[in-house]
Amino acid sequence: MGKRIRKLKKQRIHREGTGTLTYSMACIAAVAFLLHWFEVGPAVFWAFVAVFGTVWAIVLNFYRCPKREFAGDTELVVVAPADGKVVVVEEVQENEYFHDRRLMISIFMSLFNVHANWFPVDGRVKFVKHRDGNFHKAWLPKASEENEHADVMITTPEGEDILCRQIAGAMARRIVTYAKEGEECFIDEHLGFIKLGSRVDVYLPLGSEPCVKVGQFTTGDLTVLAKLPQ
């Protein structure tokens, strides 16, 4: 599919957060008005405004949805599906779908990261599956298989199957997946969204060349994770 030129809609706040941000701001404003109305004192009033204003700002930061577009040829390229920190780059045995060895790259998203997820490759969505599970801390190795997660399998134009797994964490309780079975998908498009701290794993065929290392920070839709084998 290669490089595409198309216009992207500018969106500063993700649609998953508009309701939460609006209602929470309304509640904070209502309580602040009541505190002022009943003259509880400036210390209490400003302490409330400072604490809950800071919390609201953190939530606002969490729901950021920056406009991004990958620059360059997308052929055989795997980009980061999320903002965060690389916690795993290793060969693993994947027995649920592939039943063979795969290169797994995992990105942990903290509360302060953008939590929108992007498609890591161009291709077509082969299937989307949701699995119920536990809510271990997302950076733990067992989280990949035991935590609640959503699996999106993408077949690239070259015929490689790439698995992208959205994983719930200790705080995350909602995984949103926009990918639909049978649809074409492209780098630059949103795959989904995970609320609060969480993780995204990408399973690649052996022979893929990793372009990141453990401890490195990624920018979703911009950082190149790996190059697929020719």
CB atoms within 10 A of CB 123: 23
Task: Supply φ then ψ for residue 193, to 5 degrees.
Answer: -155, 140
- Residue positions annotated with a catalytic role: 198
Which CA distances in Å does 196 have to 57, 136, 158, 174, 175? 14, 13, 35, 8, 10
Give 87-90's long-range contacts (Cβ < 8 A, gap of 24+): 87/139, 87/199, 87/214, 88/141, 88/201, 88/214, 89/210, 89/212, 89/213, 89/214
Q: Which helix (H) or strand (E) holds 210?
A: strand 209-210
Residues 151 and 172: their CA atoms lie apart, in Å, by 16
Rg of the chain in Å (alpha carbons): 20
Say if residues 85 and 216 touch (Cβ distance below 8 Å): yes
Residue type, 94: E
